[in-house]
Structure 1
């Protein structure tokens, strides 16, 4: 009830006739114990609503704030560290610039750490607030508080045993170990050997092992830490989601590329492991820019081996951010490797997985395969352009084109024009039509209200193709928008002049194709679309009436 009233206090204070009753109620609530939620509520009003207070209301509020202000260590910890919205009291009197707020937050964290150091000398107080520390509304203040405790507590092992007992009595989804991470981080600063011994036992403990990785990253990340982490994943001692903690804050910097490789391969072997493995490897690559060239070369070998072994059928891009992580790994590996054989294996595995009826594969094809078309264009074209079981090339199209995008974003757009034409000339009767259906369609002028024009790639494909009618038949449907606002017929009509830009050299054969088929086909589409729009407009009008 105290917490609920604290949340509602700011709104209630705005009702002037209730202010005296709120003061009386606060007095009643604080007769037996402090009320940190109420104190923070007064601080928030002073911070955000001060200008709206009458002189009388302001004086009442200032007097109430002083009465509710914490008067002992436990009350101060609850108000400044554990209560929801605990930063409010730090912001009073501070201007609203980001730099100013950042400085205040830093001071607040420092003060929270000092409170932790003070609390470390009172074992009864510490034991009393452990249930509150473990509540899921933890923050970086509770982490700083925990770090202060870890630096100063006389018996950290005994404290961790008490915390373990509390965790064992708690619902798993109702606790947060953020303050406990802070305790281990502070403890590690003063006695890393003792923390290492604790982590050795925690790995085998039925309670601590569930949260082992987030605890380990607060300790020393040395060879002992690597051995523990590898055992945690290989022997199934910690759930795979815990290993996402390795992808934050450069925690794996002390590990060699070889050690990283062993970890990501072991993680990827677990159910839902590929998501975590790509997340970790992506962060390692991001941090590799500050490593030496030998490390980056070793990391390249790790990535190539990892990508070769990845079961792409099980990779699921629905898990947040995985498509980005996969792209980071592919870009790093493909931009640096000179092994055509390794790239062929990886590419064929991806293509085969896309053709697998049992695939769990939701990746954006152009994004996933785009790196192969960028760095190994001829190889990518050959790998993707294979007939389906029934002899069509529908999957070859689906793998490289996003049909929902304007102009159909495509991985083939990454292929240099001269290479694309060279590839088409190997089998011109069928490849030119495939290229026309998958190449970059539009150039967009960012300096001219994003005006579109036909890409030079389309112009050159039409000029070089032996069957110009077949190429034109692929281009025409792509000029029709899949998504639009306003009149679709008008948009198509505005694109009619683009047909003339397909023939800058005034080639007579191309001109005949445009006149005989393309122009007429677009006009048919415009007429059909206008009839549809009229029917819809009439139906909407009748419905309104």
Structure 2
């Protein structure tokens, strides 16, 4: 009787779950908390019902009921993802924990949160969503829920692919599991400028290109089956063939970049895309060093038996070395000017 009265009180309703005895949580207790959640303005504090052991006697049905209410609440998507993330804590990745309906509700919650303006970009919200999506997308989910998730990536106003920095890890996980649909939608079905939303080439020195999670063979298979001759060059523009824009990077093409060159019916066309963007748009350290490393990466494949590659590189590499030298001259001038100002 006391708990029923507390559940109807505006001040006690938000903490009704914690007012219950933890030793014995009955179906009647759950129904009381579920009713309180429906009437609550703030769904947080109810997410403990999704993961704490003392509340799990009812099995997956309870979790599905909670999730279906949470996703309708303002801020409920965050509470749901937090609860499911805690439920995954210390669990084996190979163990299926949610069930199809709960996975689909989690995808809908993620779709809503991806459109939100996270006050902690790349922080706890991204971590929790990435953890939940990494589990859910391994298994079967409703096509409608997957569609909502994709729509949230490409929303023209607030799409997470456009504002990638908010949820970079979560976006990379979505791309990893749904790369076929995402590449088709980003590169073939919409405005051609959509590929820029994936921070084409290397984007930022602070974030990984989300396409880097795709297996190289999956990329080349997509290009072969896309039905568009431009698919190879579009993917070449969207990946990071040289890795990140950081001084001290690799002197070889990434596995994705090399796979595209080797599998493309026109490897020179793919290489020409890489060459056109050999100077990074965003970088840390010496840009001249980065350009030099990228030229070396191109030179490394000149001896491979790929038709037309050696001849093409023999023509373009000397020109790019001149670009590298201009960058070194520019950096040296900046250093001299800085020294003079210091003196």
- Do Structure 1 and Structure 2 share a fold, with TM-score over 0.5? yes
| 1:379 corresponds to | 181
| 1:415 corresponds to | 214
TM-score norm. by structure 2 comes to: 0.79
Q: Does the CA contact (< 8 Å) of 2:243 and 2:253 recur in 1?
A: yes
Instruction: Classify 1:363/1:418 alpha carbon distance in 2 versus 1 (closer, same or farther; 3 Å).
Output: closer
| 1:458 corresponds to | 257
Query: Offset of 1:246 from its aligned partner?
Result: 4.1
> Which structure 2 residue ranges, 5 or more long, are not aligned?
none
> Which structure 1 residue ranges, 5 or more long, are not aligned?
1-196
| 1:368 corresponds to | 170
Instruction: Classify 1:202/1:318 alpha carbon distance in 2 versus 1 (closer, same or farther; 3 Å).
Output: same
Q: Does the CA contact (< 8 Å) of 1:481 and 1:488 recur in 2?
A: no
Q: Does the CA contact (< 8 Å) of 2:77 and 2:113 recur in 1?
A: no
User: Per-residue displacement from partner, 1:74-110 (whole Å, max 9, x unpaired)?
Assistant: xxxxxxxxxxxxxxxxxxxxxxxxxxxxxxxxxxxxx
Query: Offset of 1:249 from its aligned partner?
Result: 4.4
- Aligned: 1:226 with 2:26: no
Match 2:15 to one of 182, 200, 211: 211
Query: Offset of 1:275 from its aligned partner?
Result: 0.8
- Aligned: 1:273 with 2:58: no
- Aligned: 1:253 with 2:56: yes
| 1:324 corresponds to | 127
Match 2:326 to one of 528, 536, 542: 528
Query: Offset of 1:454 from its aligned partner?
Result: 1.8
- The structure with the largest alpha-carbon Rg is 1
Q: Larger relative contact order (C-alpha < 8 A, sep ≥ 6)?
A: 2
- Say which SS state the counterpart of residue 303 (structure 1) adopts: helix
Trace 1:9-408 onto structure 2 (pairs within 5 A).
197-216=1-20, 218=22, 220-236=24-40, 239-246=42-49, 249-286=52-89, 296=97, 299-308=99-108, 310-311=111-112, 314-319=115-120, 320-337=123-140, 342-343=142-143, 345-359=144-158, 361=160, 362-364=163-165, 367-388=169-190, 391-392=191-192, 394-399=193-198, 403-405=203-205
User: Per-residue displacement from partner, 1:86-139 (whole Å, max 9, x unpaired)?
Assistant: xxxxxxxxxxxxxxxxxxxxxxxxxxxxxxxxxxxxxxxxxxxxxxxxxxxxxx
Query: Offset of 1:461 from its aligned partner?
Result: 1.4
Q: Does the CA contact (< 8 Å) of 2:288 and 2:327 recur in 1?
A: yes
Q: Does the CA contact (< 8 Å) of 1:443 and 1:452 recur in 2?
A: no
CA distance in 2, matches of 1:348, 1:383: 11
CA distance in 2, matches of 1:301, 1:400: 33
Question: In the comparison of the two structures, how many residue pairs are matched?
Answer: 331
Instruction: Classify 1:512/1:374 alpha carbon distance in 2 versus 1 (closer, same or farther; 3 Å).
Output: same
Instruction: Classify 1:315/1:262 alpha carbon distance in 2 versus 1 (closer, same or farther; 3 Å).
Output: farther
